[in-house]
A = this chain, B = another copy of it.
Amino acid sequence: MKGILLFGHGARNPDWAAPFHRIRAAIKDADPSCPVEPGFLELMRPTFDEGIDCLVEQGATEIVIVPIFMAAGSHLKKDLPLMAAGAMDRHADVRIGIAPPVGEAEPVLSAMANYAMAVSPELVGEV
């Protein structure tokens, strides 16, 4: 069974995690049996390791790590492969793969472009 780890940077403000929970809910709506959890690099929980372990506990035998990042900077190029290798050491019977970041996906960029063209901003000073 395939599981999905939504890999994020993390931030001090708990509200920062809201989009991750919304993406998770959208996936659960489409496929209620799909194990899907967030996992953060720093400042937030669940951590990357906690997210992976939670997916394995739910029966995932294959895990796709999906970076919820705009692009592949040093966190994705250096930190993530090491973390993923550690996860494979802990779960030798689970196939683990890393997807390109969401910011490289054409439909995601297209949705961002459409949003930018349509959005109504708050005027500065009137927020």
Write the residues of chain A forming the contact surface with B, with a CB cutoff of 8 angstroms: 4, 6, 8-9, 11-13, 15-20, 22-23, 26-27, 30-31, 34, 36, 64-66, 68, 70-74, 77, 81, 84-85, 88, 95-100, 102-105, 107-117, 119-125, 127
Q: In the complex, which residues of chain B have a beta carbon less than 8 angstroms from the beta carbon of A104?
A: 18-19
Whole-angstrom CA separation of A17 from B109 in the bound complex: 13
Q: Which of A22, A70, A71, A85 has the most CB of B within 10 A?
A: A70
Q: A115 and B127: CB pair below 8 A? A: no
Whole-angstrom CA separation of A111 from B15 in the bound complex: 21
A71 CB contact (under 8 Å) in B11, B81, B119: B11
Supposing A12-B74, A19-B70, A74-B13 touch, asked if A97 and B115 sit within 8 A by C-beta, the answer is no
